[in-house]
Amino acid sequence: MTAADIDAAVELGRAQGWRDRQRFYEFVLRTSTCQPLVGVVNGRLMATGLATLNGSVGWLGAIVVAEGFRHRGIGTAVTEELCRRLRAAGCVTLSLVATDAGRPMYERIGFRRLTSYHELEAGHQPNSPIPPEGARVRRLEPADLPSVFQLDACATAEDRSVPLAVLAEGEGWVLDDEGELRGFLLPTERAHGVIVAPRFEDGLFLLELHRNIVPGGALVRACVPDEHAAAWGELQQRGWRETWQAPRLILGPVPNWRPDWIWGQINSAMG
């Protein structure tokens, strides 16, 4: 995929009922660990797919095939090419978030369910939340990035330093305790935000902070795995509404991750 393909890729996704992916594709093309692909027939873009190299874990996503080209093995071919590229780059575990339509195809080639993600949303919160005891919140600075990368790697068992660094060029916040990083927030497109925090109260605070910093009328999305059921339940008690859930499938060994530290994703195509 090149920048010249973005408009056609966005229209392809819209035709299948996806949200506008303009900002998503722009972000992907700025991220060196992403390998976005397109399939073209007679000059027409009819398929897309994305491979993201996160160290030993590789992600597949944004696999879309135009309606008139389905049931011809194109989706399988795109998926297999993405898997080939990830393995060639040294990824041991391959991962994706499956739609109901795509899951049977992924399972046929060996993917199995690891967990499910629950997406919840809430609106703007005009009142600034109070940081948990002993912590202070401040803007992320370049000097914070090594600690952010380390905390993220402990939570995900992945090296997501490249996309996180791209996101950090915008805005971000950290929660620290006398120099010790307790959590971070990096807003992403479509109201998502990468939020990692080992302490329960810190994760809840960062989500409420995200609600506070978005404009009035805007939404914020949390995304938590099954294993983080306490967060899922607490957020619903606080008025967050679950809008989506989908399984995470993997091919290869289970990563040594900490799902209870994860409060938000980059997006469903990249983890």
**3 DSSP assignment:** G
* Tokens found for residue 18: 């996806």
Based on the domain organization, do 60 and 132 belong to the same domain? Answer: no
Based on the domain organization, do 179 and 229 belong to the same domain? Answer: yes
pLDDT tens per residue, range 94-146: 999 998 888 998 999 999 999 999 999 999 999 999 999 999 999 999 999 99
CATH number of the domain encompassing residue 63: 3.40.630.30
Final residue before a domain boundary, out of 115, 133, 163: 115
Spatial distance between the Cα atoms of 199 and 217, rounded to a whole number of angstroms: 29
Based on the domain organization, do 104 and 179 belong to the same domain? Answer: no
pTM of the model: 0.94
Q: Which residue has the tokens 């060029």?
A: 169
| Residue 250 banded pLDDT, cuts 50, 70, 90 | very high
Residues forming beta bridges with residue 54, ordered by sequence position: 57
Domain count across the chain: 2
Q: What is the domain range of residue 193?
A: 119-245+252-264
271 in any annotated domain:
no
